[in-house]
Structure 1
Amino acid sequence: MPKNISFRDRTRALTRRHKIAVAGVATLGAAALAFSAVPGNAEPTTSEAASQAQTHVAYSTKPIKDVKASVTDQLASASLKAEAAKAKAASKAAAHKKAEAAAKKKAEAAHKAKTASRSAERAAVKPAAAKTYSNNLHGWISESLDIMKAKGIPGSYNGLYRNIMRESSGNPNAINGWDINAINGVPSKGLLQVIPPTFKAYHVKGTSSNIYDPVANITAAANYAADKYGTIDNVNSAY
């Protein structure tokens, strides 16, 4: 049989444990009462603070997205503006280049026109080369006809040639020493046998004053015939 155990010691020990347990329960109860007695405007508990923090974080993502979208829109807008500015600059440069080309072309055209005008002016100012005539009957008649035309004296090549051949046979130094004029001391001379007084009266300015000069003789005789007969073409005999 076991020895008698002192219940006093055991009771004392249990009582000490019980006291500790009771004290702990009391402490927990007091804490619970203290927490339940916290007013509504007091600081939230740790769990409430965590919940509120989570709530704020959940709601804070939306404005961040909006900001990101706004930045993206701004970048896109800036890119479009840059492209538009670049296109505008390119268009302006092309227009400037086109304007320069047009101005250059216009200047070249004006230069060509001015050069052509100067050339025309030089051509107009430049005297025409003097017409030359052969020193023979054909040349003499041709030169005389040009003078007659300038002076308004009528006559043709045929009329001049025909009368010259009848009067002097084409000899510019021919002299008639037997007709009435020769008898009167004023013989007929030259291609168209003109007496000196008639040559002097009908001499055409610009020709030689020498009665034996072929062109001067022909022109003076044609001028006399035009006054007396209308034209040398109407003369078919001594005149």
Structure 2
Amino acid sequence: MAAGKHRRPRTSPLIRGVIAAGTGTAALALPLLGATAASAAQPAKAPTTAQAAQQVKSVTYTTVKGDTLYGIAERYDTPGGWRQLYKDNRKAIGDDPRLIHAGLELTVRTTKKASTAGKTADKASAPAEKPAQSVAKVTQASAKTYANNLDGWIRQAMDIMAQKGIPGSYEGIHRNIMRESSGNPMAINNWDSNAAKGTPSKGLLQTIDPTFNAYHVAGTSFDPYDPVANIAAACNYAAARYGSIDNVFGAY
């Protein structure tokens, strides 16, 4: 996105509800639903067997062509996400977390159940890929899942956008992603005017942090590198400024 995009007033009718999400209201929605069924006077329950099994373990993963730290961390439910994965393996990866070469042996933290984690403990070239987050995290009315790739990220973002009234077509989103990041969710621009100001453009649609935070869509991750969250926020911004991401054909 071009410099100055974060100056857009946050009072657009389209995004008033979105900006309010920054207060934490949306993040509390799901926990509060569960809390209404229990008395505040009840003592805390002991961890269930399933919860006890969610202990952090380490497995060894051998990278293959096309891998990204984000994708690997998603598959294994790595605490701390791709940043922790990079921190744990920086010596093997090098200084640029975007450059992942095939054949690297990475130590991956996982919170999957012991029975599941044990199956992936042996070195593997391509473990079963975990679907991307389902839209059930945004609405409990659907159990739809999406492929953990660019096509799946766009389709999931579009479903979320449809619920929020944010316009944008598959073609318009895809066209802008390919121009901005070539489909790399961990892309970052460290050389333009935004970077010089300390707010480099990040992710699939290259949002700067102030813009991502201002136009963040409730129900998506607060990580600007999360592909679905990045698409949704960028399309929300484009809708407020240009009417739709479909109307964007260059730097925005």
Shorter-chain TM-score: which interval? 0.3 to 0.5
Q: Given the two structures, how large is their TM-score scaled by the length of structure 2?
A: 0.44
Q: Which has the higher strand share?
A: 2
Q: Give the number of the structure with larger relative contact order, counting CA–CA contacts within 8 Å between residues 6 or more apart.
A: 2
- TM-score, length basis structure 1: 0.46
Larger proportion of helix: 1
